[in-house]
Amino acid sequence: MIAAVRSLVSVNESVLYVAFELGQKDWKLAMTSGFAAKPWLRTIAAGDLAAVERTIGAARRRFGVSASARVISCDEAGRDGFWIHRALQRLGIANRVVDSASIDVNRRARRMKTDRLDAVKLVLKLVRVCAGDQDAWQEVQVPSAEVEAARHQSRERTALIQERTRLRNQVGSWLATCGCRVSRRTRQQPAWWTTVRDWAAAPLPAPVQARIARATVRLAVVDQQIATIDRAQAATAQAAAPASAQARLVRLKGVATTSAAVLLEEGLEWRGFRNRRQIGGLLGFAPAKYDSGASSRDQGITRAGNTRLQAVMTQLAWSWVHWQPQSALSRWYRERFGRGKRARKVGIVALARKLLIALWRYATAGVVPAGAVLKVG
């Protein structure tokens, strides 16, 4: 989420507000000139930017907004990514991308939901935000086109890792139905499924062997694609400038090339954090306190935060304790959470939050975490 406060709109300024409710086939546009004007709705074909310009021109005439007046729009972050935001900016429209989860809903009864109602609600909230109500919603910080494209590499790798795990688990479940277990070393041999025996010392049924053979072919393709991405990430890290954030991160012992790529792609550098609270808000892992009247209890940690960043930081935290045992963070972790398996699992979340802040300071300002060791060579 962005932390910078947008410029407000003066009450005497003439502005046209536009909210986009995006669909696969068509877009709903809700437009108004302020609180006193009833929103005007129009439907256009999805992706038709020329129709957007025509509709905004008609809205100017309808609400008496001059041709030189500003147009402020908003849309919800979703499957379309950020190309619409960039296209609207090219048209001279000041667009805002909204986190849909931050928009409040009526909980009193079963609510009606249509694209038209959502568009009207969104444009009225836009007017509130421009008038100064910054708590009406949360906005998403839009990455550059280059950063958005670079995300595909690490996200594809994550999907491939999940696919490899799924295939391996499936093969194991097929073997379990036949009452046999196969070691990892045996699975590395060619056509190993033809030598496996079931619970009755008989060969696996032909359909089972055929299915395992096809799954093994898919596994080989997935492994090859993972290796290709790993080589590309290693080449990018090697070609990075010595003073760049990526080169700094991979020099730290315990931080691998893939982890550094995920951190940078999810916004460790390009989001432009100003303090540790902002970067902690991106990660999440914050306590959810319930304190009302005489009731006070700890509800654990919130679910808010970047899930990909949470996953990689949890892995990095365990790696940091192993490869950086003499660092200040590792010593703090062992002193506070070193007793008991459950305490270590709870504490690793706190370490992940502290570690991300330390890595941000190192990547952006070159401040090496206290006691950390750099890789040799």
CA dist., res. 258 & res. 236, Å (int):
11
- In angstroms, how far is CA 348 from the centroid of its own chain? 21
The answer to the question of residue 333 being in a domain is: yes
Determine whether 297 is exposed, middle or buried from the number of CB atoms within 10 Å of its CB (0-12, 13-18, 19+).
Answer: exposed
Average pLDDT, 10 consecutive residues per value, the chain (377 residues): 54 87 94 92 95 96 92 92 94 93 77 85 92 87 90 93 96 94 89 93 94 96 96 92 92 93 90 88 82 79 84 94 95 91 90 94 93 86
The Cα–Cα gap between 275 and 347 comes to: 23
Global confidence as pTM: 0.82
What's the rounded Cα separation, in Å, for the pair 115 and 52? 17
172 and 100 co-located in one domain: no
**How far is 84 from 52, CA to CA, in rounded Å?**
11
Instruction: Tell me whether residue 187 is in a domain.
Output: yes
User: What's the token pair of residue 18?
Assistant: 């536009």
Return d(Cα 131, Cα 15) in angstroms, integer.
11
Q: Are residues 121 and 153 in the same domain?
A: no
Residues 226/161, Cβ–Cβ less than 8 Å: yes
Residues 145 and 86: beta-carbon distance below 8 Å: yes
CB atoms within 10 A of CB 332: 15
Question: Is residue 339 helix, strand or coil?
Answer: coil
Residues 219 and 310 in one domain: no
Measured between alpha carbons, how far is 338 from 315 in angstroms, rounded to an integer? 18
Residue 121 belongs to a domain: yes
Closest CA to 278 of 149, 141, 155: 141
- Laid out side by side, the sheet with 94-98 consists of 40-45, 26-32, 15-22, 70-76, 94-98
Which residues neighbour 190 within 8 Å (Cβ) at sequence distance 6 or greater? none
Closest by CA position to 26, among listed 8, 65, 52, 2: 52
300 inside domain: no
- Could you say which of 131, 159, 191 is where a domain stops? 131
- Statement to judge: residues 75 and 104 lie in one domain: yes
The whole domain housing 44 covers: 15-131
Same domain assignment for residues 22 and 105: yes
Closest CA to 363 of 293, 228, 267: 267
CA–CA dist 282, 1 (Å, integer): 7
The secondary structure of residue 121, as a DSSP letter, is H
Tokens linked to 7: 């410029």
Tell me: do 107 and 74 sit in the same domain.
Answer: yes
10 falls within a domain: no
- Residues 238, 258: Cα–Cα separation, whole Å: 13
If you ran DSSP here, which 8-state letter would residue 29 be given?
E
**301 domain-assigned:** no
Contact between 32 and 38 (Cβ < 8 Å) = yes
127 occurs within a structural domain: yes
Q: Provide the CATH number for the domain around residue 42.
A: 3.30.420
- Structural contact between residues 29 and 49, judged by C-beta atoms closer than 8 angstroms: no
**114 lies in the same domain as 65:** yes
Residue 140 within any structural domain of the chain: no
**Number of domains present in the structure of the chain:** 3
Same-domain pairing of 233 and 284: no
Q: 274 and 341 share a domain?
A: yes
Q: Domain check: are 192 and 99 in the same one?
A: no
Report d(CA 117, CA 372) in Å as an integer.
Answer: 54
Closest alpha carbon to 333 in 375, 369, 305: 369
Same domain, 125 and 61: yes
Return d(Cα 262, Cα 270) in angstroms, integer.
12
Cα–Cα distance, 377 to 367 (Å, whole number) = 20
Contact 362, 368 (CB under 8 A): yes
Are residues 85 and 167 both part of a single domain? no
| Distance from chain centroid for Cα 38 | 36
